Every structure is written in structure tokens, then in C-alpha cells.
Chain A
Amino acid sequence: MTQVATPVIAHLTPEELAALNKPRHDGKWWLGKIASTLGMAFIVIYCLVPFYWMIISSLRLPTMGLSNDYWPNPISFENYPGVFSAQNNFLRAIINSVVVSVTTTVLTLVFGIIGAYALARLRFAAKGFVLAIIIGASMFPGITLLLPLFKLFTGAYDWMPLHWLNQYQAAIIPSLSFGLPLCVWNLTAFFRQLPVELEQAAMVDGCTPGEAFRKVILPLAAPGVFTTAILTFIAVWNEFMISLTFLQARDMKTATVALSQFTGTLGFNTPFGSIMAAGVITTIPLLILVLFFQRRIVAGLTAGGVK
């Protein structure tokens, strides 16, 4: 007669089983947990301390701009109205930033959505080549593009004399050079993540590919489109060199350029307090976007890089 080997477990009582399965919190485990917590604390401090310094520097009295106290004494909000005073024209600068960023984002989305659909869904022989060109083009140094565009927009070329200096389109068009590839790349990654079966099911139900795209895919891709819009907006808001070159008039500067050229009441003054306040103001919209949509943004940033 064969003996069926009974599992060892059968000889244990439930209490003994529970005791054996309890996770062991030995010294090594605690060490790991402490190190991990310390590591997290390090990361948080690393990321936030310089920003903390900027915030408290903006909360000092205007005359104490270079004070090194770790906590402002007294706390004063005087720098903030000072940022918007007539001589700094910062409100106008923010409006300019908004106009340029929003227009560029909208344009890139319009071109990007249809382009990304083609790259994500359609099959054609030159797809790899097109993708490579689009991504490659975004890698070109800005200064190489800036020079001919600068000459073009100041009318130096007789065959196309434009005088677009200090007008919005002079900043929007060069921004497309990095905004559009970024948009296309992100959207392509998002569209790829959507299963093909959805469209096929819609087409089986009688939709044309275009209708399938509009009615089925786009609504589903809306989060991805939204995230791409945020990422593009942030990238264009961030932009410095192009705005520095093409939007020089006092009323046309964007927030980033205006911030870098802040002076105080006299020509020589360096108002650290107002500069930091302006920096905080310039960053707040982006931070709000980032904090509200952090999951989406993280997903968007990593979608392209991780398959």
C-alpha cells in the first residue's frame, strides 16, 4: 500500500501557523525602514529647500532683501504689490506669457492630435523615418534656429520682408519648433496605449475610421490630451531665449524675461525681494497645475520613456 505523504502543515495548529507567518521585524527590517524614511526626507528637503528660500525671501521687508535669517522677521507681503507696480509692468508680462503659451499649446494640440493618430494607428513605410525626424528636429539647438528667424523677422531678407519683432507671432512660431514635437511624441505614446480593439469594435458597429476616432478614441484619450496640453503649456511658459530675442518692447516681454530684467526704483537697484516675489508669482500657476494633476503629469512624463 502506498503511503500518501501528508503535508507538514497538517500537523500544525492554526495558532502555530499564524505565528510562523507573522512578518519578522528584526533589526535589519528596522534599519531598512529608517534608511528609507531618511532617504525620503532627504529627497523632500533636497527638492523644497531652495524653493523655500525663494518664498521666505519674498516675504521679507523690501529693505531687507539680502537678509540671511532663516525665517523672515517680520513677515511682510509688501514685495507682492511692488511686483505689480507700474514701473515693473509685470501684470502685462504675465498676460503676454499666457497669450504665447496658450496659443502655442492650442496650435500644437490641433496639429499634434491628427499627426499622433497617424503615427500611432496607421501603418506606412516611412513611419520610423517621420518619427525620427520629428523627434530629431526638437533636439536642434535653439540658437541655430533663432538667427535666421531673427533676420527674417527684422526684415533683413528682401525676398520676405517681415517686421514681426515685438509681436506675438514672433515668439509663437519658434516655440512651435520644440512644442510640436513634444506634443506629437506624448500624444503618440498615449494613443498607443489605447487598445486597437476599441476602434475595430466601433468600425464593426458601422463607424468610419474618422468617426471611430472622434467618438470613441478622443474621449478616451482626453486625459492624455489634457496632460499633453499641460506639459506643452509648461514647456512654453518656461521658454526664455526666444522671448528674450523677439519680445523686447516693455509691453511685450513675457514673465520669464521680465523677471530676469527686474530693477527697482533706480536704474541700478537690485530689488531681491520683488524679484523673488515675481519668481513665486511666475511659478505659482505651474505649481498649481502640477500639484493638482501630479498623477497625470507623472504618467505623461513617463509614458514616452517607458513601454
Chain B
Amino acid sequence: MAVTTAERTAPTTIKRKKNAFSDGQGALAAMLLAPTLLVMFFVTGIPIVMSIVEAFYRAKGGVDPNTGLVQTGSSFVGLQNFTDIFAHPSIVVGVYGSMDRLINAFINTTLFTVVCVVLETILGVAMALIMARAFRGRGLVRASILVPWAIPTIVSAVMWKLIFNTDGVANKVLGLTNSPILWLGDNRYSQMAIIIADVWKTAPFIGLLTLAGLQTIPAEVYEAAKVDGASAWQTFTRITLPMVKPALVVAVLFRTLDTLRMFDLPWGMIGPGKYSVETLSVFAYLEMNATRYGQAAAYSIVLFLYIVLVAFLFVKLLGADVVGDEELKAINAQRKRMRELHRKQAKASASVRTNITSGSAAS
């Protein structure tokens, strides 16, 4: 008879809570959190649901040929607002050639997000590394770093608009006064202008967050690395980056989501209706202004799903820890260990059962 060694196991059942708030302090917590949750429900939850519902309707809008008047009201069209992107595309010619306007906005949004986030992360980390080794002047640098962050985005949009003006200082500095680059036209250059303006504003912010992360790395770790003969690059990739990773990943996650929702910069700097810089937010907003609420809701839902997907990828794949509660982390880690343990136990007992095939083990 197979004998299972007496393992010291914790109780194998996980007690099910009666309700989410029954852990002793649940009632008080519910009371304290109720205002916040109620506000969020009414301000965010309900509008999202209403948006989703709206996305399935479309305004009637037909003109009566006899009176010339427009029909009022909206009718249910199912998924037509979404399928029309492919079935009846409204073709625009942007930087990528002619395609449906939503797809154009989608590609713009993705392009801006990827390029901006990559650039600002590289620049930000570089800034953090420089600042970490600073000897003097930290106060001045810290104050300067906060300036781009403090300037409202629309003010920075207007400021860069002046700089990138065809007769402005950007062309002057580049020596292009006679054959100027049309930074503010509807072309690739306006995309570059937007990327430059966005990176300028946000790279210092990432630098700041990374610096804080860098400062939590104890000096002994670096000394130990030096003693072990690590080169600068090895130190950076094997020690600095992994230890900064949690803070950096959260910062990059928030920046990515912010850039996906970019509105102020294209609107303030280049203007609405310019397809080369039209992001999903701007497009949905313009549709709303044109009283095409159904389509506007549909496009904003597309953006919403995109954001949810990106956030999900960040949390699951890159391990972004947004919540950051130590106790929760410990509880989750414990639960994970218990699950692993029970899986192993179940496998062990299952293999024990299947091994009893020969007669010698019986009786």
C-alpha cells in the first residue's frame, strides 16, 4: 500500500466569504467608499453603458423631397455603425493613402502612441540616469523638469504652433527660411510636429518617475556589481532596469493610455479636419458635433475597447502593478502558492492511484 508521507499541509478548503464586504471591516468600508463609488457609477459607469446603447442607433436624417425638411429621431441599426467602416467606408486621403476615415484615425492613434511612448521612455530614462548622478544643481533641474508638466496641454499646443509656424523659429533654426517646411499643413510634417510636442511635454515626467525608482536602489547593489566586474552596460541592463521596472511600467502604462486618448494637441496645434493627425478622440468629437451621435458613440466605443485591450496587455503581460497594495499582493501570492500546492497534491495522489497496476501492491 502506498503510503503518503505526512506533509504539513494547510487546510485544503478555502472558506467562501458570505459577501464581498464580510471580512469584518466590510460594513465600514462600504459606507466610506459609497460616495466615491456612487459618483464613479453615475459619472463613468452609466455614460459608458449609454454610449454602448447609442452606438446601435443612427439618426434618420433623410430629407423629405416635398417640404425639404429633415426627419427627426433615430432608428435602431444594430451593428451597422461598425460594419459600415468596412462595408461603406467614408474614404479620406491621409498620409497613408486613401482608406476609411476611422481606420485612418486608428492608424494615426497607434502611430502616435507607439512612437511617442518609445521616444519619451528613452529620453525619460536617459534624463533620470543623468539626474541620478548629479552633483549639484538638483533643485534647478527638478524645477525645470516640472515646467513642461505644469504647462496645460492646450497652452503647449498653441506655443508649439507658433514655433512651428511656416515663418516661425523652427524653420529659422533649421535654416529653412527660404524653402520652409510646412509643419502645420496636412502632411507627414504635422505628424512629426505633434510627436515632438508630445515627447517634449512628457519625457521629463517619465524621467521624474524613473528617478524616484532609481533612488530606491541601494548603493551597495552597484558597489557589489562593480566588485564583480560588471561593465556599465551590464549594470544598466541587469541591475538598474529590472529594479526600476515596476515604477517604469506603471508610468509607461499611464502615458500610453493618455496618448491613446490624445485630443488637445491635434486640436489646438493643427486643427480639426486634418486627416494626417486626426486621432480617434478628435474624429469621434467631430462626429458628435455633426450630430451623428450613433456613429460618434460607435467610434468612441472602438477607442474604449482599444484602451481596455492595451491596459489588459500591460497588466497581464508586463505585470504592471497599478493597485500596489502590499497586503493584497501578499494575499494573492499566498492564494497562488496554495493553488500550486493543491495541484501538486492532486497530481501526486492521482499518480499514486494509477500506479497500482500490478498485483503485488494489492491485498
Contacts and interface: CB of A to CB of B under 8 A. Distances in A.
Interface stretch (A13-21, A77-85, A86-94, A279-287): A279-287
Interface residues of A, number: 96
Interface in B226-281: 246-247, 250-251, 257, 260-261, 263-264, 267-268, 280-281
A264 B357 CA distance: 94
A100 to B, nearest CB: 13
Contact of B44 (A140, A241, A307): A140
Contacts of B145: 43, 47
B168 A68 contact: yes
A124 B328 CA distance: 10
Contacts of B280: 141, 143
Interface string A225-247: 00000000010011011000100
Given A43-B130, A304-B324, A50 B156 contact: yes
Nearest to B304: A144
B142 A136 contact: no
A113 to B, nearest CB: 9
Q: Which interface residue of B157, B208, B257, B322 has the most chain A CB atoms within 10 A?
A: B322
Contacts of B51: 144-145, 147-148
Contacts of B140: 44
Contacts of A238: 152-154
B213 A306 contact: yes
B28 A118 contact: yes
A137 B142 contact: no
A118 B32 contact: yes
A181 interface: yes
Contact of B146 (A36, A176, A294): A294
Contact of B54 (A33, A148, A279, A304): A148
Nearest to A134: B40
A105 interface: no
Interface stretch (A3-11, A51-59, A199-207, A215-223): A51-59
Interface in B26-83: 26, 28-30, 32-33, 35-37, 39-40, 43-48, 50-51, 54
B198 to A, nearest CB: 12
Given A302-B208, A302-B209, A125 B22 contact: yes
Contacts of B131: 40, 43
B167 interface: yes
B94 to A, nearest CB: 20
- B interface, by DSSP: helix, strand, loop or mixed? helix
Interface stretch (B3-11, B158-166, B337-345): B158-166
B233 to A, nearest CB: 16
Nearest to B281: A143
Nearest to A113: B32
A180 B39 CA distance: 9
B152 A124 contact: no
B81 to A, nearest CB: 13
A305 B43 contact: no
A241 B141 CA distance: 31
Contacts of A48: 144, 147
Given A148-B47, A307-B246, A276 B133 contact: no
Given A137-B45, A301-B209, A276 B300 contact: no
Given A43-B145, A291-B143, A141 B307 contact: yes
A115 B328 contact: no
A36 B288 contact: no
A173 B43 contact: yes
A307 to B, nearest CB: 6
Interface in B279-296: 280-281, 284-285, 288, 293, 296
Interface in A256-290: 256-257, 259-260, 272, 275-276, 279, 282-283, 286-287, 289-290
Most buried by B among A131, A143, A149: A143
Contacts of B263: 142-143, 240-241
A118 B33 contact: yes
B288 A125 contact: no
B200 interface: yes
B325 A125 contact: no
B159 A141 contact: no
Contacts of A111: 35-36, 39
Interface residues of B, number: 105
Report whether over half of chain A's contact residues are helix, strand or loop; otherwise say mixed: helix
A163 interface: no
A54 B247 CA distance: 33
Nearest to A42: B130
A125 B20 contact: yes
B203 to A, nearest CB: 8
A237 B152 contact: yes
> Could you say which of A68, A177, A181 has the most chain B C-beta atoms within 10 Å of its C-beta?
A68
A155 interface: no
A141 B311 contact: no
Interface string A294-305: 100110011011
A98 interface: no
A173 B39 CA distance: 9
B114 interface: no
A148 B54 CA distance: 8
B301 interface: yes
A198 interface: no
A257 B267 CA distance: 11
Given A43-B130, A129-B20, A189 B324 contact: yes
A57 B162 CA distance: 9
B151 A118 contact: no
Given A50-B156, A238-B153, A283-B155, A66 B141 contact: no
Q: Which 10 A-B pairs have the closest CB atoms?
A: A302-B212, A39-B130, A148-B50, A126-B20, A115-B36, A118-B32, A144-B300, A47-B144, A122-B25, A124-B26
5 contacts: A124-B26, A143-B288, A240-B264, A260-B267, A287-B147
Given A234-B150, A291-B143, 5 more contacts: A48-B144, A119-B29, A119-B325, A241-B263, A241-B264
